[in-house]
Amino acid sequence: MNVIILNGSPKGEYSITLQTLKYLALRFPEHTFETVHVGQKIRAIEKNIAEVVEKIQKSDLVIFSYPVYTFIAPYQLHRFIELLKESGASLDGKCVTQITTSKHFYDITAHRYIEDNVQDLNMNYIRGLSADMDDLLTEKGRAEAEKFFSFVMWSMKERIFESKKTFSTTPKSLPVTIPEPTTDKLGDVVIVTNCEENDEKLRSMIERFQNVSKRNTRVVNIREFGIKGGCLGCFNCAVSGKCVYKDGFDDFLRGNIQTAEAMIYAFTIKDHSMGASFKLFDDRQFCNGHRTVTMGMPVGYIVSGNYSEEYNLQTIVEGRAEVGGNYLLGVATDEFSPNEKLDELAKALDYALENKYTKPQNFLGVGGMKIFRDLIWLMQGMMKADHKFYKKHGQYDFPQKKRGTMLKMYLVGALISSPKLKAKMGNKMNEGMLLPYKKLFDTLEKK
């Protein structure tokens, strides 16, 4: 069987993810494995994708191999998928899967992004393998990789694939009217967009929001900045916070975008995401490492397209806000009552800024930050800027520090382990759990 590996890592041969594929090639010598470094060679592929398309068409199995960058695949692989779909190549019925390495930070949204896009191409998708960066160095990790590949072989033989998702091909865009602008505006709100020159739908949505908002707004179109290239995963910024690229993006990000009071992202849905140009912007924000430098800043979205059908994109939008410690103002789309939704977004923005409104993180934020917390603690010797930030902001909230709570739980565990003591306690345990709240209410009533 001919297997083609589409390596989306910008590191090419130095990709950690690729090592798992090299291991599988050694363990399954009866199959032919060929690697195409689509991530590293994306500039050349932009000029001519035909050779890669031909190799995909001649293969029996396609495997996307990549590290997870900022909730999805790296920009370079994002761009490759964009080019592959634009090529119009016929890939009907081609079998495809994926292997990623990460610390399991939103690997689910990265995998779903690939799944949705290859199914757009009418390919037969087999659920992929999400591995930790170090898994291949363990006996357990190697066994899992081998079992995964055997499972892929079985799935192809039995013709068992993931059920296809269906998406509307025509956006349900409704027209937007633009009122006269509100006067006497306050503050500084930045609208970050990748709006193309001919995208009148998105442009009109942005203009209406600006006109009805009580806040001063300014638009930053990332297409006009001239970002030299996607994140290389080189960790040059880990110590100094400075990017290896000399295009000035890191200074512009910190001096012109992150200084705002609030941020609104505006985009048209493309390939089940914000589009490759937005992914380029997102990945290059790694000059901030894993530091939540905009926490507390309200964030909203203006979206053109069938957002209600894009569950994975909805998860990414909410997850980005939750992990960053940003209050998500809402998502205004042009699917249903766009004028009303844009006005509501502007009102929510004004309320959040006026009242300094924030919310506690939900699972998407708490879970994501715990992964980062443990990662930075282990890698503090290299990620010095991140380590300093986490210490300063009290983000090393390890449970083992709460020794008092742990001792109390040992005592409670001993009490409820005895049937006699448990019977005597009756409902006193539940009453005891409410004592701190009773004390709080008593204090408030006395005031």
Asked if residue 173 belongs to a domain, the reply is: no
192 and 152 inside one domain: no
The CATH number for 58's domain is 3.40.50.360
Asked if residue 288 belongs to a domain, the reply is: yes
Q: How far apart are CA 441 and CA 270, in angstroms?
A: 52
Asked if residue 104 belongs to a domain, the reply is: yes
Give which of 300, 296, 239 is closest to 264, Cα–Cα.
Answer: 300
- Torsion angle, alpha carbons of 379, 15, 7, 17, to 10: -60
252 and 326 inside one domain: yes
**pLDDT attached to residue 422:** 72
Asked if residue 133 belongs to a domain, the reply is: yes
145 and 243 inside one domain: no
94 and 206 inside one domain: no
218 and 345 inside one domain: yes
Report the number of distinct structural domains present in the chain.
Answer: 3
277 and 142 inside one domain: no
> What is the number of helices (H) and of strands (E) in the chain?
17, 11
Asked if residue 372 belongs to a domain, the reply is: no
- pLDDT digit string (tens) for 298-308? 999 999 999 99
> Could you say which of 108, 142, 158 is where a domain stops?
158
DSSP assignment of 341-389, as one string? HHHHHHHHHHHHHHHT------HHHHHHHHHHHHHHHHTTTT-HHHHHH
- pLDDT digit string (tens) for 361-395? 999 999 999 999 999 999 999 888 899 999 999 99
248 and 284 inside one domain: yes
255 three-class SS: helix
pTM here is: 0.90
Overall average pLDDT of the 428-439 stretch: 82
**pLDDT band (50, 70, 90) for residue 168:** confident
**pLDDT attached to residue 410:** 86
CA dist list (Å): 307 to 167, 303, 310, 337: 10, 7, 5, 13
Token digits of residue 38: 């689509």
Output 422 or 144, whichever has higher pLDDT.
Answer: 144
358 and 429 inside one domain: no
Asked if residue 442 belongs to a domain, the reply is: yes
Left, alpha or beta for 101 (phi > 0: left; psi -120 to 50: alpha)? beta
**pLDDT attached to residue 440:** 85
**pLDDT band (50, 70, 90) for residue 235:** confident
143 and 211 inside one domain: no
316 and 422 inside one domain: no
Overall average pLDDT of the 199-228 stretch: 96
pLDDT for residue 95 is more than 90: yes
260 and 344 inside one domain: yes
Overall average pLDDT of the 347-356 stretch: 94
pLDDT for residue 358 is more than 80: yes
* Residues of the domain holding 430: 402-446
Asked if residue 56 belongs to a domain, the reply is: yes
**pLDDT band (50, 70, 90) for residue 171:** confident
283 and 421 inside one domain: no
Rg value, the chain, Cα: 25
Instruction: State the angle between helix axes of 107-120 and 75-87 in degrees (0 to 180), rounded to the nearest 10.
Output: 10
- pLDDT digit string (tens) for 249-263? 999 999 999 999 999
pLDDT for residue 91 is more than 90: yes
